[in-house]
Structure 1
């Protein structure tokens, strides 16, 4: 196609002098701010109120929530609650200071993307099994194709999203690493894994057989290496028999040129020569776009093994893909010298975006200190424990400073008369001795 700029970034004007930061690229490449403001915040509040729950959510808090999820993708802990743990080897104050765990779980519980009152009846011809996630699918499809021009070589393949719950859309694909889950058809760039277009497979359509008797007999009577081809209006159809039938449609390759390839005989190490169309060879060279997308997605996945609504599993999967798409665009802009400085790695890019989304937002009334509480300074003689040091009971209860070192809150009304600090002094816990 003469005059077509394959893979050109469309979202920023060439003459723009705006500094292209990672978060600006992420927002422009994914339409994330629009998604949050016009879909997520509005529909989440509507969903909570519809279920009789008092719930509010601002745009800034929603962005901070997703920023936290991105951090959790590259800073992995066993559970969500681990990030708010007071154990020194577990908690992450950077996360805990943004919002309390109860608020985080409340937002996650009420996340929604569509108005349930508009969902058609199951008997309606317009009924969509993916109704609850459809606005997000439509949004990202538009954003991904708007952000960058089509590349010259692309691949269409299946992408599996792990899900073992009960849902009519769940599929079993035995030859995939993820065997149980949702299946998405994806069109991605062969060299970068950039996702241009996708759709969720919602199940087999009702109707007759997908193949007729003629197709069945044609496959049955074909031997390995046999080729069937037909052309019409510049489109060529190729059917090549390997161990199974391989189908190919092409608008720029002829089915006529063939070559000899080595193929292994089933059940042995022996290899034989098999005739193969050159179109199949070229397809194999560029078929890995969706696999590359899958590979990049799993490095810092936002989603984790947890009980979750099916449409949230789909959403967080798409959120990871959106981040990877943004990084592809960032790399292209850096290559075109429109971004100065050293090229960020995928992890560094994700970190900058996550921190920018969180910003200075905090819904906590007080922040959690990242420094362990230390005891007050005492003299050397006091530290050795002099006769003047005695435990005194007082009226007010405060945290034991010895337990505070381990971020465990034990309150006591026993104090050291000399050091003026609260310490446990019971038959089970003698912090007075340990402290001094």
Structure 2
């Protein structure tokens, strides 16, 4: 009989083909039959692919007569590793491309002990680049080299002012949801069903690939869209509660325990959290697909679906902001944040509404994109695509601004404004040589065509470059008096700074909402995981903003006193998503002796009916009304006060997993064993 396709090829000393008649066991010609190779278990459509030549592996005793069986053996049992860096590949094509880019590197073939999934590559500042880049790619001088004219008080009547067009476009939420729509319906606007179907499909494909490659994995049940919704809902609820250990959400003392227990078991939650994918790098590398020039080709389908949903749900306002945010630092196996310099964290540029903080678009840098261009000329046109000629006011981060970019935006009908540091290389030295600012409230202005450069001294000297303001116009702000205690002094502020300070806050509002009750219970040990959960968190924030802006005049019944709270929104959204799926009843464990359903608590299985609430296991919970010193930190001569602790030991411990496991003499890496 021929071996099964999912088994390892046999080491038979003969090579043969098994002729299988699919319809009837009657003599037919060879063109009407399917040939099955008995060595590799696959259909032999061509004899050249299964040429009868004896092949012996030099790294192990494996022998075969089939070239396809030998190739499968090498892919399953061995991997290629670069000896000069950490690059690992399952196929020779990927390693060949790596060696072409790095001529001085060597490779070695070793047995594959564990599946090491590669990570996505970002354009990291301060990191090692594959290709040499010019010394200063972030800021370059303006190639036009225009002349700048000093604006004095006597020249205001002769200046030619810029005509700033009016914004007349529709703005705000754009959807057809009824007034009875709840939190989950608004969430599906920003995180559509098509994206959930993609994640479920790619997750199942990743697990299937790992099982084919022989990786040890527990029994996997296909992930469905309702179960995925329940999983995401539990992740959102974990960010709301913020318990130090994931097993505590299934503890009997957890007041919201029934929501977690009805949705899925702790084991299933960990299984999904480990295998969830929006595109498997292992599957892509094994199949040989994807675009090697695109560092984000695995994320591209998710980014396309999410980008379209973000753009359709909310129409851009007049004032927009572009600034960057950083992904959270990666975690180690114990769940602690690893120390990382800010310059080495991946950058994500956001286009946000200046008033509400809604994120319309985002841009992620990869190593292959625009290394020889300025950051502003690469990021801003991509984010502002489709908004030309609408008279938007755009406020930029100082690392994006340049006179060349602002002239380009003005030709497209977009008025821009940005701050610039002192002695900025994008502006001529003339702006700093013609005057000094020593008194608060004084300012100097220069004009070059439509560009207006302003230096103003508040508590310190600042600069503003814009195309949306007029020279000579000021307003009054109040600052604390430096001479008289308890009094305020008036201060003149140029109009350019007023517009910048009032509207350069859209990304800051978005980042504040992202930092409020973030997601919990999921690992973030690599960049693609961190980006995946960042996109989910961003979708939750966007859906909250759409709900708040849509229901201002008619808030839902669960909104208290008409005040929209993101905490209440996340709690309600997580509960509704968790109720989309109920786990099937588990089969009875023979070891339980027929004493009812069994349950996992703190890593051990116990019968639910026989569990005594007064004799529970060691756990973390609130044990005192007032805060007391942490026993574990006190032994290290560190003062931390907390109201949480172990009720069995009656010891106050910090609200984090490390103190709990160290106090009980266990390492966080061995918990549950």
TM range (shorter): 0.5 to 0.7
CA offset at residue 183 of structure 1? 2.4
CA distance in structure 1 between the partners assigned to 2:239 and 2:536 by the alignment: 11
Shift in CA distance, 59/402, structure 1 to aligned 2, threshold 3 Å: closer
CA distance in structure 2 between the partners assigned to 1:276 and 1:345 by the alignment: 35
Q: Contact 2:242–2:520 at 8 Å: present in 1 too? A: no
Aligned residue in 1 for 2:202: 43
Q: Contact 2:455–2:464 at 8 Å: present in 1 too? A: yes
Please give the secondary structure, in 1, of the residue aligned with 2:582. coil
Which TM-score applies when normalising by structure 1? 0.66
CA distance in structure 2 between the partners assigned to 1:332 and 1:91 by the alignment: 30
Aligned residue in 2 for 1:374: none
Shift in CA distance, 303/228, structure 1 to aligned 2, threshold 3 Å: farther
Shift in CA distance, 237/105, structure 1 to aligned 2, threshold 3 Å: farther
Shift in CA distance, 21/245, structure 1 to aligned 2, threshold 3 Å: same
Please give the secondary structure, in 2, of the residue aligned with 1:48. helix
Aligned residue in 1 for 2:85: none
Shift in CA distance, 153/208, structure 1 to aligned 2, threshold 3 Å: closer
CA distance in structure 2 between the partners assigned to 1:276 and 1:187 by the alignment: 27
* Residue correspondence of structure 1 range 199-218 to structure 2 within 5 A: 199-202=363-366, 205-207=370-372, 215=427, 217=429
Please give the secondary structure, in 1, of the residue aligned with 2:615. coil
Which protein, 1 or 2, shows the higher relative CO under an 8 Å CA cutoff with sep ≥ 6? 1
Shift in CA distance, 339/71, structure 1 to aligned 2, threshold 3 Å: closer
CA distance in structure 2 between the partners assigned to 1:90 and 1:136 by the alignment: 35
* Residue correspondence of structure 1 range 222-233 to structure 2 within 5 A: 223-224=436-437, 225-231=443-449
Shift in CA distance, 214/23, structure 1 to aligned 2, threshold 3 Å: closer
CA offset at residue 403 of structure 1? 4.3
- Is residue 2:352 matched to residue 1:188? yes
Aligned residue in 1 for 2:664: none
Q: Contact 1:226–1:275 at 8 Å: present in 2 too? A: no
Shift in CA distance, 305/26, structure 1 to aligned 2, threshold 3 Å: closer
Deviations 1:201-254 (A, max 9, x none): 44695338989978474576475544343335xxx453647667745343x433
Shift in CA distance, 282/171, structure 1 to aligned 2, threshold 3 Å: farther
- Is residue 2:194 matched to residue 1:34? yes
Shift in CA distance, 163/205, structure 1 to aligned 2, threshold 3 Å: farther
CA distance in structure 2 between the partners assigned to 1:339 and 1:326 by the alignment: 14
CA distance in structure 1 between the partners assigned to 2:545 and 2:608 by the alignment: 51
CA distance in structure 2 between the partners assigned to 1:214 and 1:253 by the alignment: 20
Shift in CA distance, 3/193, structure 1 to aligned 2, threshold 3 Å: closer
Shift in CA distance, 339/114, structure 1 to aligned 2, threshold 3 Å: same
Q: Contact 1:43–1:113 at 8 Å: present in 2 too? A: yes
CA distance in structure 1 between the partners assigned to 2:256 and 2:478 by the alignment: 56
- Is residue 2:260 matched to residue 1:95? yes
* Residue correspondence of structure 1 range 397-412 to structure 2 within 5 A: 403=612, 405-407=614-616
CA RMSD of aligned residues (A): 4.1
Please give the secondary structure, in 1, of the residue aligned with 2:315. coil
CA offset at residue 408 of structure 1? 5.3
Q: Contact 1:144–1:196 at 8 Å: present in 2 too? A: yes
Q: Contact 1:238–1:255 at 8 Å: present in 2 too? A: no
- Is residue 2:233 matched to residue 1:60? no
CA offset at residue 337 of structure 1? 3.9
- Is residue 2:458 matched to residue 1:238? no
CA distance in structure 1 between the partners assigned to 2:194 and 2:208 by the alignment: 22
Q: Contact 1:6–1:150 at 8 Å: present in 2 too? A: yes
**Unmatched tracts of structure 2, length 5 or more:** 1-165, 333-338, 376-401, 403-423, 438-442, 588-606, 619-673
CA offset at residue 404 of structure 1? 5.4
CA distance in structure 2 between the partners assigned to 1:90 and 1:187 by the alignment: 39
Q: How many residues align?
A: 351
* Residue correspondence of structure 1 range 140-155 to structure 2 within 5 A: 140-155=306-321
**Unmatched tracts of structure 1, length 5 or more:** 174-178, 368-397, 410-436
CA distance in structure 1 between the partners assigned to 2:426 and 2:612 by the alignment: 79
CA distance in structure 2 between the partners assigned to 1:208 and 1:23 by the alignment: 42
CA distance in structure 2 between the partners assigned to 1:68 and 1:214 by the alignment: 49
Deviations 1:88-108 (A, max 9, x none): 369834213321222111111
Please give the secondary structure, in 2, of the residue aligned with 1:193. coil
